Amino acid sequence: MDSFGLAGMTVHRVEEFVDPNCDALAFFPELTPELIRKHADWLVPQFYEASNNTIRIVMQTWVIRTRHHTILVDTCNGNHKPRPYFPMADQLNTPYLERLNAAGCAPEDVDFVCCTHMHIDHVGWNTRLENGRWVPTFPKAKYLFAQAEYNQYLPENYVDGKAPIFADVFEDSVLPVIAAGQAQMVEGRYQVNDAVTIEPAPGHTPGHYIVRAGAADEMGLFVGDAIHNPIQIAEPQLSTAYCVDGKLAAQSRQRILEDCAEHGHLLVPTHFDPPHIGHVRREGAGFRFVPGR
């Protein structure tokens, strides 16, 4: 699945790479072998490797082409960035921009870049290296960041005088965009155009947001890291070790899943394995994932 239609728009998927070996029990601290067994009939092996308790994390960007605009949702890890503490993203040299081009999208075509949050794998291609400097990859785009996400990186907001995780990412992938005058900070609900809206879904990070695209009768929710793996659809209480507020993340997730189940919205997460997208059905007191378009 590399593209699909949505309410008269086209959505393309551009993959950067796949992390095949994410340790699920470390990633979801409250995940247990019992929960895996409970959902094994649909979870294993498509979305969970039971032999070594790993999940696959796909790094990908969604390109939404509306009648008037080209909008990117999340920009993966980026090339040439020093990430010694995260070897899989360290000094990458992937053909991401070539793949974006193959999807019919040149960097100068991009009107808006939506970063659901400022983690390493969601803002990387915001910038690229040019003559030793980080410059915006998408020269004509407005980059939409949540104000609350930005605020946590201001030194006056450091908790106990300590910078939050990925302060280096903020420096090379967000600050150059601000310096170029291409950043727009958004608060609360924000209407990008007549088909696309940003909505807060905090918890994974303070300013995490989701992107709602489409029309009343056909809507897609681009949920970023509000949901990392289908197991969290069946067990919405499972937050990750990287969530700053796991309880709040679970509340945001529950709200998204209720919305999808009730209205039939398409769920478009950032990291799911093939087919990458799906629908959500109510099952008992919880939910079930129905993969595919």
Q: How many Å separate Cα 244 from the centre of its chain?
A: 16
Nearest distance, CB of residue 117 and Zn ion, angstroms: 8
Binding-site string for Zn ion from residue 206 to residue 225, where x marks contact by CB under 5 A and - marks none: -------------------x
Nearest distance, CB of residue 121 and Zn ion, angstroms: 4
Nearest distance, CB of residue 161 and Zn ion, angstroms: 27
β-strand pairing of 183-186 with 142-146: parallel
Task: Give me 24's structure tokens.
Answer: 């699920």
Nearest distance, CB of residue 65 and Zn ion, angstroms: 23
Segment near Zn ion (CB under 5 A); pick from 91-99, 114-122, 213-221, 279-287: 114-122
Residue number, 66 or 173, with CB nearest to Zn ion: 173
Residue number, 225 or 259, with CB nearest to Zn ion: 225
Binding positions for Zn ion, 254-293, rule CB under 5 A: none
Nearest distance, CB of residue 5 and Zn ion, angstroms: 26
Residue number, 66 or 75, with CB nearest to Zn ion: 75
Q: Comparing C-alpha atoms, which of 148, 151, 166 is closest to residue 248?
A: 148
Q: How many Å separate Cα 57 from the centre of its chain?
A: 11
Segment near Zn ion (CB under 5 A); pick from 60-68, 113-121, 194-202, 280-288: 113-121
Nearest distance, CB of residue 288 and Zn ion, angstroms: 23
Cis amide prior to 164 (ω within 30 degrees): no
121 lies in the site for Zn ion, by CB under 5 A: yes
74 lies in the site for Zn ion, by CB under 5 A: no
Residue number, 66 or 74, with CB nearest to Zn ion: 74
235 lies in the site for Zn ion, by CB under 5 A: no
CB-CB neighbours of 98 under 10 Å? 10
Report the alpha-carbon distance of residue 139 to residue 109 in Å, rounded: 9
Q: Which residue has the tokens 């903020």?
A: 170
Nearest distance, CB of residue 76 and Zn ion, angstroms: 9
Residue number, 149 or 225, with CB nearest to Zn ion: 225
The footprint of Zn ion on this chain (CB under 5 A) covers a number of residues equal to 2
Report the alpha-carbon distance of residue 120 to residue 170 in Å, rounded: 8
Q: How far apart are the first and last CA of the chain?
A: 9
Residue number, 60 or 66, with CB nearest to Zn ion: 60
Report the alpha-carbon distance of residue 168 to residue 185 in Å, rounded: 20
Q: Can you spell out the DSSP letters for 85-116?
A: TSGGGTT----HHHHHHHTT--GGG--EEE-S
Say if CB 180 and CB 136 are below 8 A apart: yes
Say if CB 104 and CB 144 are below 8 A apart: no
Residue number, 19 or 218, with CB nearest to Zn ion: 19
Binding site for Zn ion (CB under 5 A): 121, 225
